[in-house]
Homo-oligomer: A and B are copies of this chain.
Amino acid sequence: MTPSLEKLIGKFSSLPGIGRKSAVRLAYHVLSMPEEEARDFAEAITAAKKSVTLCPDCQIFSEGGRCGICSDPTRDRAVICVVEDTRSAEAIEELHEYHGLYHVLHGVISPMDGIGPDRLKIKELLSRLDGSVKEIIIATNPSVEGEATAMYLSRIIRPLGLKVTRPALGLPVGATLEYADGVTLLKALEGRTEY
């Protein structure tokens, strides 16, 4: 295997969810592309990297300054939904039911990986909390790191007099109790609602 092929395989396998075998397959696919197509592919990578920046307000990946959501005058500026990454915001956007703003942390607190609060876009979040914001929905993932990050943020934001909420934990719609994991089932029972 030539060094340049080995390097390309290495690049592909550094992507999330791509193992060595898939990386080899993808790399050979690139080799079999017409030269122009390969060049287009390479340029798409550098161009995307160059032109996609962070929205100065919500830190979402955006092209050309302020993002479409922050620029939209119909969005409810009283609510900010804090998420780990842009994809989480997109998942919520796809519901077409949330009309507030977002704030992307670009990560979660993870001491194991050496990621402290200073590595996240928390300073930028705090600078947005003027009097117009009334509720912060902390929609980090319900993982150990996501919970720790939510806890950290809540301790900073609650003393400012804002309402801090977190999406419900519980049984996913369509689940069966029999196969639910114990922690989720317990949270669902603890968080049971009047019906």
Contacts and interface: CB of A to CB of B under 8 A. Distances in A.
Interface of A: 83-85, 87-88, 90-92, 94-95, 97-98, 137-139, 141-143, 150, 154, 163-195
Nearest to A158: B195
A179 B137 CA distance: 19
A120 to B, nearest CB: 16
22 contacts: A83-B177, A88-B178, A91-B178, A91-B180, A95-B185, A95-B189, A137-B192, A142-B171, A142-B172, A142-B173, A142-B174, A150-B195, A154-B195, A167-B171, A168-B171, A168-B192, A168-B193, A169-B170, A169-B171, A169-B172, A170-B171, A191-B193
Contact of A92 (B165, B174, B176, B189): B189
A80 B149 CA distance: 36
B188 A98 contact: no
A177 B139 CA distance: 8
Given A97-B186, A171-B172, A172-B184, 14 more contacts: A85-B178, A88-B177, A98-B189, A143-B176, A164-B194, A165-B194, A165-B195, A167-B188, A168-B169, A168-B170, A168-B190, A170-B172, A174-B183, A191-B193
